[in-house]
């Protein structure tokens, strides 16, 4: 009989994490099993074999295996039977047979706990309860070693909450999406990939509701009045005390009364203002700041942060916390940063002796806020920008409050009052550590005191209109989801990406706009199945899942409540299926249209590339065709089309590709006088 050395099998979430952990524990030997890397290493008298998943190796499926059936409530966890995932399951199962002990070393959050639970429970033969848990927030050598020296029991509450979340998302997403897609299919020719879920629905509603506000907005006129005064050759810009003057006659009266009249300073008050340092990043804060500064989509920011984490450059980036515990060793991190291009700010902070970060109120039971580990990076491009942002934010949290001086001046002119404001930097404080990502606002005023006379150079009024509400951008929409407590720090960015993928929303200058299809889905759901887009229902489920993690609520009760609400919604869906399909069908056809430019005839609509649902031929038509503009034109039926430029006749010139680099440029206008 062949004998085997007893070893401890370590399950990691990703190959890069397995390699980092093996390297941190000692001199590891890498072998291949069916093309999968396995690392042998000894640490503290134990022999370890370290393997990894590649994300989820198991997922929830319905037992019916029939995508046309709903409701689906009979679920099971099953291995992903494709490609690398299936190979990884086979390798881990073989390694588990000869293992004497098991360590769960996946990321310490709900997703990581579920990944490790599935592997240990199914691939390793029910070993989750017997395994030990390695908990760490960074992949630095010291923290990995400490985690393996202080192994603890697995986090059963985290696993229950994570598995319950997967089950909830599955039964809502699969059943509602099937109901929606089949409603569309029954009332329209063809099939379309439509989806809706317990987080996706409310998120789309946020965008649609904001778009309703914009479209219903009626701009009201108002007038602003500004004046320029002068003292000792220096101009003082001032605004009338009422920010908005609602009536034109009143505005003209004020301008007439003040024009040519010198002003007198009635008061000049200077006061110091302090601005506290920023709080350290959690996931949402980092995503919003990266979008503000670099216009990077939240999902991409998180993907970059995860790469930095796997290279042991930052702590775990999926966290809700805005707190930096003393246990992370501020001095050690600053000393590490001091060996790179952060030497000057790091040395300034270290010289102070006492280090106290400015923390925010949000906490996370699993991980602290995001911070640099102090490992010297070798990065470029966007990866460096995200790292630099995290490192400088960490430094700034330890800085002093910034101080500025604000001077408020009131200027009397013939019975009217104008206000001027000056700002001057007094002390940069934390801002010096966070540049170029922040700057102190400054505006100069000459020295002024009560009684000073000011020469009136001009008084002008300007007509303005009340502004449209701001559209959500990806960062502000993510913040809205966070404020409303729907979704998780790990899934919110993916939900937004799905809305784009389904063509429910589109990027527009100034933010995100709901498409006709997105509007149709929301309007139809609100009319017939309102619970699907209810923020309250989704939030209540999130709160129940939190109690499951804490051990104060039974997962079966949560699932029972969710299933009851789902069955109610599906019953409404079935009753109104034909109506829902028709309501969404028309919008779906319009959303398939591609805009190629302004209509040269009516000047108000857009020319769209359409496809006839009877002949299947494509053609161009004005978006106002249904009302008053009958502009249309035929198109070549083969080849990929893109807009090249605008013809002298005002119509678009399209470029049609026929393969092998062959292109044909032609004006869409059949009567174009400039065609050869």
Has residue 70 been placed in a domain? yes
Are 453 and 291 in contact by the 8 Å Cβ rule? The answer is no
CA nearest to 668, candidates 660, 646, 658, 657: 646
What tens digit of pLDDT does each residue of 206-234 get? 999 998 898 888 889 999 999 999 998 89
Distance, in Å, from the CA atom of 294 to the CA atom of 385, rounded to the nearest integer, reads 8
Has residue 676 been placed in a domain? no
Has residue 519 been placed in a domain? yes
Cis amide prior to 579 (ω within 30 degrees): no
Q: Tokens in use for 487? A: 């979704």
The CATH number covering residue 60 comes to 3.40.50.140
Are 498 and 457 found together in one domain?
A: no
Cβ-based neighbour number of residue 93 at 10 Å: 15
Contacts from 645-653 at CB under 8 Å and sequence distance 24+? 646/597, 647/672, 647/674, 648/674, 649/600, 649/673, 649/674, 650/600, 651/597, 651/600, 651/607, 652/596, 652/597, 652/607
What tens digit of pLDDT does each residue of 496-515 get? 988 988 888 887 777 888 88
What tens digit of pLDDT does each residue of 537-575 get? 888 888 888 888 888 889 899 889 888 888 888 888 888
Are 390 and 334 found together in one domain?
A: yes
Q: Is the pLDDT of residue 238 over 80?
A: yes
pTM of this prediction? Answer: 0.78
Are 532 and 599 found together in one domain?
A: no
Are 14 and 142 found together in one domain?
A: yes
Q: Is the pLDDT of residue 522 over 80?
A: yes
Q: Tokens in use for 255? A: 């301008």
Mean pLDDT (whole number) for 38-48:
94
Least confident of 43-52, 284-293, 650-659: 650-659
Angle at 534 between CA 530 and CA 537, to 5 degrees: 120
Are 413 and 519 found together in one domain?
A: no
Are 355 and 333 in contact by the 8 Å Cβ rule? The answer is no
Q: How confident is the model at residue 3 (pLDDT cuts 50, 70, 90)?
A: very low
Are 456 and 415 in contact by the 8 Å Cβ rule? The answer is no
The CATH number covering residue 570 comes to 1.10.460.10
Cα–Cα distances in Å, from 87 out to 7, 93, 351?
22, 10, 54
Confidence (pLDDT) at 190: 62
Are 495 and 390 found together in one domain?
A: no
Are 17 and 117 found together in one domain?
A: yes
CA nearest to 459, candidates 413, 424, 390, 522: 413
Confidence (pLDDT) at 626: 60
Domain count, the chain: 5
The CATH number covering residue 231 comes to 2.70.20.10
Least confident of 25-29, 90-94, 119-123, 598-602: 598-602
Q: Of 440, 465, 490, which residue constitutes the final position of a domain?
A: 465
Confidence (pLDDT) at 622: 83
The percent of residues above 70 in pLDDT, for the chain, comes to: 96
Least confident of 78-92, 135-149, 379-393, 648-662: 648-662
Which residue among 316, 387, 472, 504 is the active-site one?
Answer: 316
Question: Across the chain, what does the average pLDDT equal?
Answer: 89
Are 26 and 141 found together in one domain?
A: yes
Are 488 and 451 found together in one domain?
A: no
Confidence (pLDDT) at 177: 87
Rounded-to-10 torsion of CA 320, 326, 331, 337 = -10
Has residue 1 been placed in a domain? no
Q: How confident is the model at residue 627 (pLDDT cuts 50, 70, 90)?
A: low
Distance, in Å, from the CA atom of 551 to the CA atom of 626, rounded to the nearest integer, reads 58
Active site residue 300: no
Are 101 and 171 found together in one domain?
A: no
Cis amide prior to 371 (ω within 30 degrees): no
Has residue 507 been placed in a domain? yes
Confidence (pLDDT) at 614: 65
Are 20 and 144 found together in one domain?
A: yes
Confidence (pLDDT) at 330: 94
Distance, in Å, from the CA atom of 333 to the CA atom of 339, rounded to the nearest integer, reads 10
Domain of 548 in residue numbering reads as 163-215+473-587
Q: Of 376, 397, 418, which residue constitutes the final position of a domain?
A: 397
Has residue 193 been placed in a domain? yes
The CATH number covering residue 384 comes to 1.10.290.10
Has residue 110 been placed in a domain? yes
Q: How confident is the model at residue 2 (pLDDT cuts 50, 70, 90)?
A: very low
Are 388 and 531 found together in one domain?
A: no
Distance, in Å, from the CA atom of 413 to the CA atom of 327, rounded to the nearest integer, reads 61
Has residue 495 been placed in a domain? yes
Look at the block and give the residue holding tokens 């640099």: 372
Q: Tokens in use for 387? A: 């790292």
Q: Residue 581 burial by CB count (10 A; 0-12/13-18/19+): exposed, middle or buried? A: buried
Q: Residue 37 burial by CB count (10 A; 0-12/13-18/19+): exposed, middle or buried? A: middle
Q: Of 379, 397, 415, which residue constitutes the final position of a domain?
A: 397
Which residues, in sequence order, are bridge partners of residue 268?
409
């Amino acid at each position: 009989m062949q004998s085997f050395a007893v070893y401890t099998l370590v399950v990691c979430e990703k190959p890069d994490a397995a390699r980092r952990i093996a390297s941190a524990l000692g001199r590891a030997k890498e072998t291949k099993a069916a093309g999968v890397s396995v690392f042998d290493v000894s640490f503290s008298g134990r022999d370890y074999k370290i393997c990894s998943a590649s994300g989820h190796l198991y997922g929830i499926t319905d037992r019916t295996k029939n995508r046309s059936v709903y409701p689906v409530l009979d679920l099971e966890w099953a291995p992903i039977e494709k490609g690398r995932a299936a190979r990884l399951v086979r390798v881990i199962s073989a390694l588990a047979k000869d293992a004497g002990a098991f360590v769960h070393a996946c990321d310490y959050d709900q997703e990581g706990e579920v990944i490790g639970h599935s592997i240990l429970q199914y691939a390793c033969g029910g070993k989750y309860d017997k395994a030990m848990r390695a908990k760490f927030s960074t992949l630095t050598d010291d923290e990995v070693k400490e985690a393996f020296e202080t192994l603890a029991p697995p986090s059963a509450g985290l696993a229950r909450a994570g598995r319950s979340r997967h089950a909830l998302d599955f039964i809502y997403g699969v059943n509602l999406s099937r109901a929606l897609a089949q409603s569309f299919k029954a009332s329209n020719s063809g099939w379309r990939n439509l989806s809706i879920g317990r987080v996706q629905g409310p998120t789309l509603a946020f965008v649609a509701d904001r778009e309703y506000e914009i479209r219903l907005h009626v701009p009201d006129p108002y007038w602003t009045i500004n004046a320029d005064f002068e003292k000792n050759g220096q101009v003082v810009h001032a605004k009338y005390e009422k920010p908005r003057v609602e009536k034109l006659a009143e505005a003209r009266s004020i301008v007439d009364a003040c024009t040519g009249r010198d002003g007198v300073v009635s008061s000049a008050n200077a006061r110091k203002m302090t601005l506290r340092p920023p709080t350290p990043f959690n996931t949402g804060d980092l995503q919003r700041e990266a979008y503000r500064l670099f216009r990077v989509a939240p999902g991409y920011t998180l993907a970059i942060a995860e790469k930095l984490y796997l290279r042991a450059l930052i702590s775990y980036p999926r966290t809700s916390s805005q707190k930096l515990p003393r246990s992370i060793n501020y001095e050690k991190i600053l000393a590490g940063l001091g060996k790179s291009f952060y030497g000057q700010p790091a040395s300034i902070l270290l010289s102070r002796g006492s280090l106290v970060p400015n923390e925010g109120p949000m906490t996370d039971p699993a991980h602290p806020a995001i911070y640099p580990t102090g490992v010297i990076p070798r990065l470029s491009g966007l990866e460096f920008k995200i790292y630099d942002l995290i490192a400088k934010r960490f430094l700034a949290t330890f800085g002093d409050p910034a101080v500025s001086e604000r001077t408020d001046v009131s200027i009397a002119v013939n019975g009217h009052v104008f206000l001027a404001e000056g700002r001057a930097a007094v002390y940069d404080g934390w801002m010096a550590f966070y540049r170029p990502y922040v700057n102190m606002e400054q505006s100069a005023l000459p020295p002024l005191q009560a009684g000073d006379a000011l020469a009136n150079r001009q008084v002008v009024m300007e007509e303005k209109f009340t502004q449209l509400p701001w559209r959500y951008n990806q960062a502000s929409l993510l913040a809205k989801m966070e404020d409303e407590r729907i979704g998780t720090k790990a899934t919110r960015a993916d939900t937004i990406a799905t809305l784009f993928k389904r063509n429910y929303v589109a990027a527009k200058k100034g933010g995100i706009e709901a498409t006709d299809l997105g509007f149709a889905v929301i309007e139809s759901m609100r009319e017939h199945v309102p619970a699907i887009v209810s923020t309250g229902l989704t939030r209540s489920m999130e709160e129940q899942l939190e109690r499951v993690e804490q051990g104060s609520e039974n997962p079966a009760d949560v699932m029972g409540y969710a299933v009851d609400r789902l069955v109610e919604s599906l019953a409404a869906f079935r009753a109104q299926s034909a109506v829902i399909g028709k309501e969404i069908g028309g919008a779906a056809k319009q959303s398939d249209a591609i805009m190629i430019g302004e209509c040269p005839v009516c000047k108000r609509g857009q020319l769209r590339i359409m496809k006839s649902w009877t002949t299947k031929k494509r053609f161009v038509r004005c978006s106002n065709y249904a009302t008053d503009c009958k502009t249309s034109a035929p198109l070549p039926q083969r080849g990929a089309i893109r807009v090249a430029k605008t013809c002298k006749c005002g119509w678009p010139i399209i470029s049609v590709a026929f393969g092998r680099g062959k292109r044909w440029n032609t004006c869409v206008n059949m009567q174009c006088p400039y065609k050869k």
